[in-house]
Amino acid sequence: MAKINRNYLKLPGSYLFSRIGQKVAQYQKDHPEAEIIRLGIGDVTRPIAPAVIDALNKAVEEMGNEATFKGYAPDLGYEFLRKAIAENDFASRGCDISPDEIFVSDGAKCDCGNIQEIFGLDNVIAVCDPVYPVYVDSNVMAGRTGEFDPQADRYKGVIYMPCKEENGFAPELPSEVPDLIYLCFPNNPTGAVITKEKLQKFVDYANEHGSIILYDAAYEAYISEPDIPHSIYECDGAKKSAIEFRSFSKTAGFTGLRLGFTVVPKELEADGEKLWPLWARRHGTKYNGAPYIIQRAGEAIYTEEGKAQVKEQIGYYMWNAKYIHDGLKEAGYQVSGGVNAPYIWLKTPNDMTSWEFFDTLLDRANVVGTPGSGFGPGGEHFFRLTGFGSKENTIKAVDRIKQCKI
Ligand code: PLP
């Protein structure tokens, strides 16, 4: 008789976005005249940059021509792309990452979720609270956690690192020593960043205790302040203790095209074994590569033209983020984020729960955001807004929020 992976039954179900959807649909039904603005979205809205579209078209033409047709991609990804990444994302910031340490994939979500496979089930993980749910859920599915405790809104056997106002939403070193440490900066959902000094402390800690840091830098392109690390490899010794994930999704609007990569340094070891061959084996066995045309499209963001166009797109979203941040601050709200990330993290007024604030904002301003509690108990009494909407809607939404001060 077939048996299921019973670890899946530990997952309480992801109600966040379906509950938001249901509430908005109900509100719209009850108030058909309401013009609802969604500022909760975590997806990009601007069209793909022209330089990327040109590269895409050219690659499509190549696929229709016998002389230039491409079949399966090389296991690690095409060298033209890995070279462009190594040069532009790492060498330019003083990080010594070779093209052979870069594994091209179809996005950071899969890589963040799959990486745990190369580690034993007896590893203890540490995550930030609040957190992007993929890190926790993928470990639950694998059986690396205990049961979900609905009272605490947490899994047993997981180390949670609180990210609060007091620590600038960047965690302190964990009190118990974890084997795997998930960090994400710039952060979703808080929009916070980590200083190089603090990140260095994590790297030193991991090297001292033999832990591995799994560093998600999906929002790296949004960093605007000069001293914030773009890559964990800017820290000394990080090649001995860290894997980094990157995504083209928010950097260049590839959420629909799909492209990302993972860096596994050749010298990185755990348990006396190198991790590079394990991830290479996993990648080669279970994955057949991002499409050639998409890898060519990705290469185009590193051309002069592509760089300028992508920068303009990010500038568009960050203009919105600043408008939301400044507008809400002016209206008396306590806000953070929005400077090095497209996310604004708002403290709910009058000790309202995240969901109470959601309902009130929907009702009074017809604006939709994301309740912070959906990202873990540390997100309770917070609310996430994003700069990914249109400029017009962002302005309208902020004006409405200001007028209906809650
Ligand atoms: N990592 C974080 C922190 C994210 O917020 C997201 C998407 O929202 C991803 C990874 C997923 O990236 P991708 O689209 O490359 O799968």
Counting atoms of ligand 1 from 1, which one is nearest the CA of 259?
Answer: 15
- Asked if 156 contacts 21 with a C-beta cutoff of 8 angstroms, the reply is no
Counting atoms of ligand 1 from 1, which one is nearest the CA of 43?
Answer: 8
Residue 51 identity (one-letter amino acid):
A
Distance between CA atoms of residues 385 and 325, nearest Å: 9
Span from the CA of 109 to the centroid of ligand 1 (angstroms): 5
Strand (E) or helix (H) holding 148? strand 148-149
* pLDDT at residue 406 in the model: 82
260 lines ligand 1 (CB under 6 A): yes
**Over the stretch 110-159, which tens digit does the pLDDT of each residue have?**
999 999 999 999 999 999 999 999 999 999 999 999 999 999 999 999 99
Residue among 14, 41, 132, 187 to mutate when testing ligand 1 (max atoms within 8 A of CB): 132
241 lines ligand 1 (CB under 6 A): no
Nearest CA to ligand 1 atom 15: 107
CB proximity list for 106: less than 8 A, separation 6 or greater = 258, 259, 260, 290, 294
pLDDT over threshold 80, residue 13: no
**Over the stretch 201-241, which tens digit does the pLDDT of each residue have?**
999 999 999 999 999 999 999 999 999 999 999 999 999 99
Distance between CA atoms of residues 164 and 387, nearest Å: 22
- Asked if 244 contacts 263 with a C-beta cutoff of 8 angstroms, the reply is yes
How does DSSP assign 335-351, residue by residue?
Answer: EEE-SSSSEEEEEPGGG
Span from the CA of 108 to the centroid of ligand 1 (angstroms): 5
Query: Which two three-digit tokens encode residue 347?
Result: 């403290």
247 lines ligand 1 (CB under 6 A): yes
Query: Which two three-digit tokens encode residue 368?
Result: 């939709």
Average pLDDT score, the chain: 97
- Asked if 47 contacts 395 with a C-beta cutoff of 8 angstroms, the reply is no
Query: Which two three-digit tokens encode residue 112?
Result: 């963040």
- Report the length, in residues, of the chain: 406
Distance between CA atoms of residues 132 and 216, nearest Å: 10
Mean predicted confidence (pLDDT) in 159-164: 97
* pLDDT at residue 12 in the model: 87
Residue among 44, 105, 249 to mutate when testing ligand 1 (max atoms within 8 A of CB): 249
Instruction: For residue 383, give the nearest of 403, 364, 363, 356 by alpha carbon.
Output: 356
- Asked if 226 contacts 245 with a C-beta cutoff of 8 angstroms, the reply is no
Banded pLDDT at 14 (limits 50, 70, 90): confident
Nearest CA to ligand 1 atom 3: 188
Mean predicted confidence (pLDDT) in 329-344: 97
Distance between CA atoms of residues 285 and 279, nearest Å: 10
Q: How many CA atoms lie within 13 A of 168 on its CB side?
A: 9
168 lines ligand 1 (CB under 6 A): no
Query: Which two three-digit tokens encode residue 79?
Result: 């060298």
